[in-house]
Each structure stands twice: as structure tokens, then as C-alpha cells.
Amino acid sequence: MVGGMRPTPHHNPSARATEAFDGGVRRLPVIAAAILDTVLILTFAALGRDAHHRGDVVTGVLLTAWPFLAGAALGWLAQRAWRSPWALRSAGLGIWGAAVIGGMLLRLATGQSVALAFIIVTMIVLGLFILGPRAIHALVRRRRRSAETFS
């Protein structure tokens, strides 16, 4: 202690390094969840384009995916999903709803088609893709906790 002051992370280089490392470790689940959401929405778009035998693969997938990616991003912001990115209810449901509703509204606003069958398929597939990994994550955590309880 210098001059009666306690060391803080700003005055202690090793504490600053530890704080930066811990912050980076805590960000990994957020980054992983965001990347997985993005990859799965792109996969949804690619599968849909392939099912309808549409050409122009890369730009076509991006053209199909961007409204849903934008909707999911709004869901991340609205739900503050970075606080608990793998939470099924607090993050997953909001991201899924925003991806579907926001995606459909953006498609309408840009003159892309929005048929009832497409809305239903989108709800189901994005539901599986966005909620599925979070449900699996919750199940794995529950099993780990119960295994730790019995050990």
C-alpha cells in the first residue's frame, strides 16, 4: 500500500492482466453463440436456396440471409443476449422471434416474397437452429450439475 491507498487493477499490472484475461474468457461464450447463430442462419438460407434450385450461391445466400441476420442482431440487442448468450428463454426466444419477425418485415420492405408456407418453414427451421443449441446447452449443464451433486 502506497500512501494509504489499496492497489487497484489500474495500479497493479498483474491484476490488470488477470482482469483482461478473465474478461476475455467470459466473452468466449458470447462470441461462440453469436458465431453459431450467424452460421446457422446462413445455413438456413443456403438450404432454402438449394431446395429451390436457385443459382448464384454466395450472393444469393447472403441476399436471402441478411434480413434474418439483421433481425437476429436486433434480438441480441433487445434481449441483451450477451449477458447470458446460451439462455434458452432470456436470449434464445428473443433472438428467434426477432430473426423471424424482423426478417419477414425486412423481406416485405425490400420487395422479397413472404408466403405463409415460407413463414412457417422459417419459424420451424430457425426455431430448431437458434433454440436447439441453447436447449442442448441447458441439458448438458443440468446433467453436469446433477453428476457433480452425486460425486
| Position 10 in a domain | no
94 is written with which cell numbers? 428473443
Q: Which long-range contacts (CB under 8 A, 24 or more apart) does 21-28 make?
A: none
The pTM for the full model equals: 0.79
Q: What is the CA radius of gyration of the chain?
A: 21
| Position 5 in a domain | no
Report the C-alpha gap between 120 and 124 in whole angstroms: 6
What is the model's pLDDT at position 80?
96
| Position 4 in a domain | no
Contact 56, 79 (CB under 8 A): no
Closest CA to 82 of 121, 129, 34: 34
| Position 95 in a domain | yes
What is the model's pLDDT at position 25?
55
What is the model's pLDDT at position 125?
98
Cβ count near 90 (within 10 Å): 16
Buried b (16+ CB within 10 A) or exposed e, 45-74: bbebbeeeeeeeeeebbeebbbbbbbbbbb
What is the model's pLDDT at position 24?
56
As for how many domains the chain has, the answer is 1
Each residue's pLDDT expressed in tens, for the chain with a length of 151 residues = 445 545 444 555 444 444 444 455 578 899 999 999 999 999 999 998 877 766 677 888 999 999 999 999 999 999 999 999 999 999 999 999 999 999 999 999 999 989 999 999 999 999 999 999 999 999 999 998 887 777 6
| Position 2 in a domain | no
What is the model's pLDDT at position 83?
94
Report the C-alpha gap between 55 and 53 in whole angstroms: 6
Report the C-alpha gap between 151 and 143 in whole angstroms: 12
Give residue 119's domain range. 29-150
Give me the sign of the Cα torsion angle 117, 120, 125, 126.
positive
38 is written with which cell numbers? 450467424
